[in-house]
Structure 1
Amino acid sequence: MASKIILGRGIALITGAASGIGRETAFAFAEAGVTGIAFADINEQGAQAAAEESKTYATNGEYRCIAVHVNISDEDSVQKMVDSTVKEFGRIDYCVNSAGIGNTSGAVMPNLKLDFFSKIMDINVKGTMLCDRAVARAMAQQEPLTYTSRRHGTRSLGRGSIVNLGSTNSYVAVPGMMGYTTSKHAVIGVTKSAALDCAQFHIRVNALCPAWVDTPMMQASLARVPTLGQLIKTASPLRRAAIPEEVADCIVFLCSPSASYINGAGLLVDAGLSLTAHVP
């Protein structure tokens, strides 16, 4: 694991930080030099373990971290998460909304159960919106970060950067994934609306949209659907799933000075999977 972007300072809040993309992203932020990270997850024990491990990768001598319990579908829980982070660190410069649930049904639309559809929308869509809203409120009250380059001197980076986790399913549909696909399309809608609404406060909001990523969530899918492994090898132009580092580094980029003019975008990280029907 090696982050290619140096952030240098700032405070990050990452949901879903106990495992998978969220955990790897937090490690990438620690390695990129942030001053502090709040590891937020419904699994607080897992978040605490990840926070402790992050100290191994931290490159900032002032680095600190905390673990925070959060249920992203609950408004009060989300607000407590943000309040706890601001109380501990004084501000939030980077927020990554990685918490969510995958497609655990596989039912085609005529057989789709309403309770499953409602649950996935509640977590993936409402949860993203609640986190964006609460974090943007906090960011709007703080002074902007600045960045000094050797070529052009000092410039403002704005009051914060938010990255929502979308998916290749934010752009394409797959049979038997109506709930998940709909929720990830909606994440793009949340992202674009938040980007416009928050621009006046100099807060950027973008989405990172990966295809299959080798995480515990994908491993659970492989256990449920044994043919998925071969499908990934056939469908992906690179004939494999992404490793978490490949996604985490892109998230760090979207929060970095290198991306300071990127706002409201959905960045596909899928090896070209969504470009066309891939023929092996």
Structure 2
Amino acid sequence: MPVAVITGGNKGLGLSQSQRFIAAGYEVYIVARSRADFDQLGPQAHFVACDIAADREATYLADIHAKAGPISALVNNAGVHLKKPVWDVSPDEFDMVLDVNVRAMFASCGRYVNLHRDTGGAIVNIASMGGIMGLPSAAAYVTAKTAVVGLTRSVAVDAAQFGIRCNAVSPGFIDTDMTRAILAKDPARRDKIEGRIPGRKFGTPQDVANTVYYLASDQAAYVNGANLPVDGGYAVGF
């Protein structure tokens, strides 16, 4: 049974990703700080308690590798958002955003490559449309997600010699519980956003999960260093 590791894979977009890999027959190791929503995933899912920002060398990957063997797919999904303009972001807040969104991913990419030089594999990093375009009042987040796109390209170039591919997915406006809760307070804002999406609708968590799975699978065997937007054309049609 192939093995996938998904950080933050027990809630939000990560939960849909875990479900997609499980449906495809993967054994999925979910790395997160809490077990929220984990129990609904079934026997193919394994919980690994870890604060990825504190694990500066991604030792959790070595532990999973020692237990389960080669990891076919690593999905760096865990992330954090901060809704503030650049002049309101404190140094500690900026460090927190970078620690979770960039430094933890940097460490996991490096650890994964070192563990899989002889077996190959696939890394999928979750970026954002904030890595493609500017977003209002999100300077720290946009900085971090832009770094994710650059990291993805560099890992793709360096790790290809080991048969390891690295790609990114940039979700746009996705219809999650959190999104609905936020926009329920401002229905006019949702209408405004949908009016800017060429297809006039939000995406679903499954749209993101299917793209992540594609990039991790052999169907994308010759896709390397790509950043695939899952945004209904928002970034190009804005």
TM-score (norm 1): 0.78
The percent identity for this pair of structures is 29
Residues 1:42 and 2:33 are matched in the alignment = yes
Take 1:170 and 1:129, find their aligned partners in 2: how far apart are those partners? Answer: 16
Kindly provide the CA deviation profile for residues 146-192 of structure 1, in whole angstroms up to 9, marking residues without a partner as x: xxxxxxxxxxxxx1000000111111002211111111110001101
Q: Quick check: which has more Rg, 1 or 2?
A: 1
Take 2:227 and 2:57, find their aligned partners in 1: how far apart are those partners? Answer: 27
Take 1:115 and 1:222, find their aligned partners in 2: how far apart are those partners? Answer: 28
Task: Tell whether the 8 Å contact from 2:198 to 2:237 is kept in structure 1 after alignment.
Answer: no
Kindly provide the CA deviation profile for residues 7-65 of structure 1, in whole angstroms up to 9, marking residues without a partner as x: xx41100001120111110100011122x11011111x22xx42x4233xxxxxxx733
Aligned equivalent of 2:101 = 124
For 1:75, what is the secondary structure of its paired residue? coil
For 1:130, what is the secondary structure of its paired residue? helix
Aligned equivalent of 2:44 = 64
Task: Tell whether the 8 Å contact from 1:70 to 1:78 is kept in structure 2 after alignment.
Answer: no
What is the count of residue pairs matched by the alignment?
238
Alpha-carbon offset, residue 228 of structure 1: 4.0
The aligned amino acid for 1:40 is V
Match of 1:110 among 83, 87, 96: 87
Take 1:186 and 1:225, find their aligned partners in 2: how far apart are those partners? Answer: 31
Flag structure 2 segments of 5+ consecutive residues without an equivalent.
none
Alpha-carbon offset, residue 221 of structure 1: 4.3
Match of 2:159 among 195, 198, 213: 198
Take 1:224 and 1:125, find their aligned partners in 2: how far apart are those partners? Answer: 31
Task: Tell whether the 8 Å contact from 1:15 to 1:22 is kept in structure 2 after alignment.
Answer: yes
For 1:126, what is the secondary structure of its paired residue? helix
Change (3 A) 1:193 1:268: same
The aligned amino acid for 2:3 is I
Residues 1:89 and 2:80 are matched in the alignment = no
Alpha-carbon offset, residue 77 of structure 1: 7.1
- Of the structure 1 ranges 187-196 and 223-232, higher mean CA displacement relative to structure 2 is found in 223-232
Match of 1:15 among 7, 15, 26: 7
Take 1:215 and 1:100, find their aligned partners in 2: how far apart are those partners? Answer: 15
Alpha-carbon offset, residue 83 of structure 1: 2.6
1:149-228 aligned within 5 A: 159-219=120-180, 221-222=182-183, 228=189
Alpha-carbon offset, residue 219 of structure 1: 4.3
Take 1:214 and 1:273, find their aligned partners in 2: how far apart are those partners? Answer: 14
Task: Tell whether the 8 Å contact from 2:6 to 2:74 is kept in structure 1 after alignment.
Answer: yes
Match of 1:231 among 171, 192, 206: 192
Aligned equivalent of 1:273 = 234
Change (3 A) 1:138 1:216: farther
For 1:140, what is the secondary structure of its paired residue? coil
Flag structure 1 segments of 5+ consecutive residues without an equivalent.
1-8, 56-62, 144-158
Task: Tell whether the 8 Å contact from 2:197 to 2:237 is kept in structure 1 after alignment.
Answer: no
Take 1:221 and 1:125, find their aligned partners in 2: how far apart are those partners? Answer: 26
Take 1:180 and 1:225, find their aligned partners in 2: how far apart are those partners? Answer: 22
